[in-house]
Amino acid sequence: MANNIDKLAADNIRILSAAMVEKAKSGHPGGAMGGADFIHILYSEFLRFDPDNMAWPFRDRFFLDPGHMSPMLYSMLTLIEKMSMEDIKQFRQWGSPTPGHPERDVSRGIENTSGPLGQGHAMAIGAAIGERFLCARFGEWMAHKTYAYISDGGIQEEISQGAGRIAGHLGLNNLILFFDSNDIQLSTETSQVTSEDTAAKYRAWGWNVYTIDGNDPAQIRQALQKAVEEKEKPTLIIGKTIMGKGAVDEKGNSFERKTSTHGMPLGEAGASFEKTIRNLGGDPADPFRIFPEVKEYYRKVLDRKRKEVAELKRMEAEWRAQNPQLAAKLDFFFSGQPPKIDYASITHKEGIATRAASANVLSVFAQQVENMIVASADLSNSDKTDGFLKHTKPFRKGDFSGSFLQAGVCELTMAALCNGMALHGGVIPACGTFFVFSDYQKPAVRLAALMGLPVKFIWTHDAFRVGEDGPTHQPVEQEAQIRLLEHLRNHHGRRSMLVMRPADATETTIAWKLAMENT
């Protein structure tokens, strides 16, 4: 029975994914069809969530990195009753809840706006750091896993270097990354662009690595179970999947493993949409339906999730009864309310640089804002985030009692990690670097703006007068670029970003006050 329902559910996801793209006349069906087996096993057997409150703070998180594989996610969210058939029929249409790349909507089960490849799994690593930070303060009763899904393209993106290094260095055993390795990308087979040993690379960073048949439910189940039980390291599961699994052409011949199915509807790619749907057990005249057996199976899955969550909430209630002060603090952390700071009491020496004034403010935050995490890309003594660091300590493997992330030289990764921390909730992330290096951070800053995340980006050395380092380190056009984000509207129709450039110490204090109140 298990094998049969696993195949039925995965094929149902494949049918819905292909149908969405075909109806929209654009999109990416092949990867979604290949990933269907994994997403089914993950959601039905492993991912912990409350079907009646997808924003439950202690849920497992699932971050989708390849946003073009949104049909796979939307199909799954339909199976767990967070999206309707009408929703997915409106795939890639203006104003619909199912855009071509997912946009954050936690109430429906979408944790992150995917954005350009690579950022999604980096945000997942940030969320995993946030979880470890909070567990260090409130206990392992609230521990949960962070799952991420990455494709060949995401692995190739430079951001994967910094993200993989940091996750391994910190020993994020709560992190499970599935690499959908189908050896196909938009223009070519991956063999034409890379010959790296991905498994060896991640092992060198300190990860557990399992290589499996990514379309075999038993192997997926076994690898996920090992990953869930892991106590020391993050886990990478390399799933060798089949692009366009189940696709056939007009003659009924296999049309799997084709680059064309990566980025266009099956009918345009050279496959037969109708015969593919029939091959998968569906009705080409009515592909937007859930098989009765799958519907009943997922009804039982949701009932089981409710029972599991009820038991966890009972444990939480016991902890709250025994720790009322900690419980109140935890609620405040997740409330999103700004911390109570007496900014008028913060004093500065006459004529100090704004970065030094910022250090004074950060020093106060380190002592009074217990849920703040500050990061720096190997510049803490120059961007003066060390004002915060002097009152805490950096994260280390197995020790998240501090509040500082020494990210190393990886500005984009650091920014994406902070986005992930903010997405997790319960923490206030900030990160610092030189203003000219905002160029490296821009893709993540843009996603923070689109999602409306209250991440604090600290940019020092913000004038062209940084002359000794030469023109490569003189920010000239950067302010204009960043200020453009102030005038863009985000997902919620609001201004995307608040940008402040204080001129002296007093303005620096006020700028920090406004930043902390900008939640």
User: 407 with 375: CB under 8 angstroms?
Assistant: yes
- For 303, residues 6+ apart whose C-beta sits below 8 A from its C-beta are none
Predicted local distance difference test score (pLDDT) of residue 132: 99
> Do residue 257 and residue 379 come from a single domain?
no
CA distance 349 to 505: 8
Question: Using one digit for the tens of pLDDT, what is the confidence trace for 186-199?
Answer: 999 999 999 999 99
> Do residue 285 and residue 396 come from a single domain?
no
Does the pLDDT of residue 161 top 70, yes or no? yes
Integer CA distances (angstroms), 341 to 154, 235, 370, 391, in order: 41, 40, 12, 17
Domain membership flag for residue 13: yes
Does the pLDDT of residue 290 top 60, yes or no? yes
Domain membership flag for residue 188: yes
239 phi and psi, to 5 degrees?
-100, 110
Predicted local distance difference test score (pLDDT) of residue 120: 99
**For the chain, what is the largest distance between any 2 Cα atoms, rounded to a whole number of angstroms?**
81
> Do residue 301 and residue 366 come from a single domain?
no
Domain membership flag for residue 337: no
User: 276 with 267: CB under 8 angstroms?
Assistant: no
User: 98 with 72: CB under 8 angstroms?
Assistant: no
- Check residue 42 and report its DSSP letter: I
Does the pLDDT of residue 9 top 80, yes or no? yes
- % of the chain surpassing 70 pLDDT: 99
Predicted local distance difference test score (pLDDT) of residue 463: 86
Does the pLDDT of residue 500 top 90, yes or no? yes
Average pLDDT, the chain: 97
Domain membership flag for residue 317: no
What is the number of domains present in the chain? 2
Q: Which among 306, 334, 367 is the end of a domain?
A: 306
Predicted local distance difference test score (pLDDT) of residue 237: 99
> Do residue 441 and residue 294 come from a single domain?
no
411 is catalytic: yes
Does the pLDDT of residue 468 top 90, yes or no? no
Element (H, E) at 363: helix 354-368
Predicted local distance difference test score (pLDDT) of residue 102: 98
User: 475 with 441: CB under 8 angstroms?
Assistant: no
Domain membership flag for residue 334: no
User: 403 with 372: CB under 8 angstroms?
Assistant: yes
Predicted local distance difference test score (pLDDT) of residue 2: 67
Does the pLDDT of residue 495 top 90, yes or no? no
Q: Which of 42, 105, 32 is nearest to 67 (CA)?
A: 32
Q: Summarize the confidence of residues 92-104 as an average pLDDT.
A: 97
In angstroms, the first-to-last Cα distance of the chain is 49
Q: Which of 364, 367, 358, 403 is nearest to 132 (CA)?
A: 403
260 phi and psi, to 5 degrees?
-65, -30
Question: Using one digit for the tens of pLDDT, what is the confidence trace for 170-186?
Answer: 999 999 999 999 999 99
CATH number of the domain within which 350 lies: 3.40.50.970
- Note down the domain range covering 373: 343-517
CA distance 68 to 61: 19
Residue keyed to tokens 């204090």: 509
Does this model's pTM top 0.85? My answer is yes
Catalytic residue, candidates 411, 468, 507, 517: 411
Q: Which among 260, 279, 306 is the end of a domain?
A: 306
Chain-centre distance for alpha carbon 419: 8
Question: Using one digit for the tens of pLDDT, what is the confidence trace for 212-224?
Answer: 999 999 999 999 9
